[in-house]
Chains A and B, each alone.
Chain A
């Protein structure tokens, strides 16, 4: 465990990877993101929590521009997010994303799902892509399902394939948008284990979740959002044992005591 934390601090030391500066976004009259400032360092695992409708999913989606922003800037690895087009596609390839509803390509096999991005975006040759895809599927524990279609897999298996699909692009940062919210309770752990392994391997991760256990054990930092604002940022131990804001106290009292 000490070894792990040492390697992690080394990685963190190497600088800022994702920087959001005074980001604002409106959905009509609703001000979903209000003056968001957030910096994520290389190798850091940031968990975003908060009540429904607090804007945490939207925040996650703005980072690879699946949602556009009205004001502010977002930079990834020093480069500002480009406008729609080739440059944006290139950037998205470097930012892995895992969705709540898995979104595996329904007409392609598991293996094809993982190979597609490598072949079509990275232009890796097919044989090499297949090798890497199989290795990744083994790593997330669904290697034996490679030739099935997504609908034939359980939710937990599908989500692990989705993680493998994102990893296949060799991303600089991974975004997780409530990855376990659509899963049966017994499948949540198999997905969280994969994510924990990733965190230990030094992947930079931004995780929107309701899994407080994961936040405690894997996060370097917890970001608490409510009503479109970042209300509190702290190390997990400090946040869970001694939250500063009333909003966070209220939220924690509702979810931790039952």
Chain B
């Protein structure tokens, strides 16, 4: 469950975060404003609050059922939505700092051969920006993996939820705690190592 939650939220946050970053560098003031406000609001609210709000607010008050009546499925989908929305703010800022590392001349050259703004961004600037921020993005993804534990608050049966149940039923608190902690290291360590390797392979030489 933890893995599924992480992967889906990671994909969601990368897509949404990239779009937010594109908005924040776009020439349209409205989009820039939206991106800025979104990032500054979302990243300053504790994740627990966001997840609880999605469950109590979106689901219970506004009756958002996320396309399912099943409480467990609904909780899972809300958790993915919240985690992706929250992490996207950090992904956006990482990518935006990457965009700033791409020399201005690259975008000028792209415009000079007749590429549109979106082509310049997707073909020239973002590919180079991504390569320079794989390290920081790895941080964000590792934090996301660990943040999935907050989903336990709305009853999603991910690792922390299972751990709590097991500790309530068994006596060996320390052992169970250690096993789960180790489980997370097993998940996050390879992520970090793999992305470190990728970032070295893809580095753009100037």
* A positions within 8 Å CB-CB of B: 64, 66, 84, 86, 89-97, 99, 101, 103-107, 116-117, 120-121, 149, 151-152, 162, 165-166, 169
Q: Please, which residues of chain B bring their CB within 8 A of the CB of A162?
A: 109
Which residues of chain A are near B111, meaning CB under 8 Å? 66, 89, 92
* Cβ–Cβ contact B204 & A106, under 8 A: yes
Q: Is A105 touching B106 in the complex (CB atoms < 8 A)?
A: yes
Given known contacts A105-B124, A107-B131, A151-B206, A166 and B113 CB-to-CB distance under 8 angstroms: yes
Closest residue of chain B to A92 (Cβ to Cβ) is: B114
The distance from the CB of A84 to the nearest CB of chain B, in whole angstroms, is: 7
Of the 9-residue stretches B8-16, B115-123, B168-176, which lies at the interface with chain A? B115-123
A101→B112 contact, CB < 8 A: no
25 CB contacts below 8 A, A to B, read A66-B112, A84-B27, A89-B115, A91-B114, A92-B111, A92-B112, A95-B112, A99-B112, A103-B103, A104-B109, A105-B106, A105-B124, A106-B128, A106-B206, A107-B127, A116-B113, A116-B115, A117-B113, A121-B113, A121-B114, A151-B206, A166-B112, A166-B113, A169-B113, A169-B114
| Cα–Cα, bound, A121→B112 (Å) | 11
Indicate whether A120 sits within 8 Å of B115 (C-beta atoms), given known contacts A103-B106, A151-B206. yes
Within the complex, the shortest CB–CB distance from A88 to chain B, in Å, comes to 9
Whole-angstrom CA separation of A151 from B128 in the bound complex = 14
CB distance from B26 to the nearest CB of A (A): 12
* Given A66-B108, A120-B123, also A106-B114 (CB < 8 A): no
Give the shortest distance, in Å, between A87 (CB) and chain B (any CB): 11
Say whether A97 contacts B112, CB under 8 Å.
yes
For B114, list chain A residues within 8 Å (CB): 89-94, 117, 121, 169
In the complex, B105 has a CB within 8 A of chain A? yes
- Asked if residues A165 and B113 are in contact (CB atoms below 8 Å), the reply is yes
* Shortest Cβ distance from B27 into A: residue: A84
Nearest 4 CB-CB pairings of A with B: A93-B114, A151-B205, A103-B109, A117-B113
CB-based nearest A residue for B102: A106
Return chain B residues, CB-CB under 8 Å to A101.
Answer: 103, 105
Answer whether residue B110 sits at the interface, using C-beta atoms and an 8 A cutoff.
yes
Query: Quick check: B204 and A107 within 8 Å, CB to CB?
Result: yes
* A89 contact set on B, CB distance < 8 A: 111, 114-116
| B110, B112, B123, B127: most-surrounded residue (chain A CB, <10 A) | B112
Closest Cβ–Cβ distance, residue A168 to chain B (whole Å): 8
Among residues 83 to 126 in chain B, which have CB atoms less than 8 Å away from a CB atom of chain A?
A: 103, 105-106, 108-116, 119, 123-124
Name the residue of chain A whose CB is nearest to the CB of B116. A89
Chain A residues near B123 (CB-CB < 8 A) = 116, 120
Chain B residues 169-206 with CB under 8 Å of chain A are 204-206
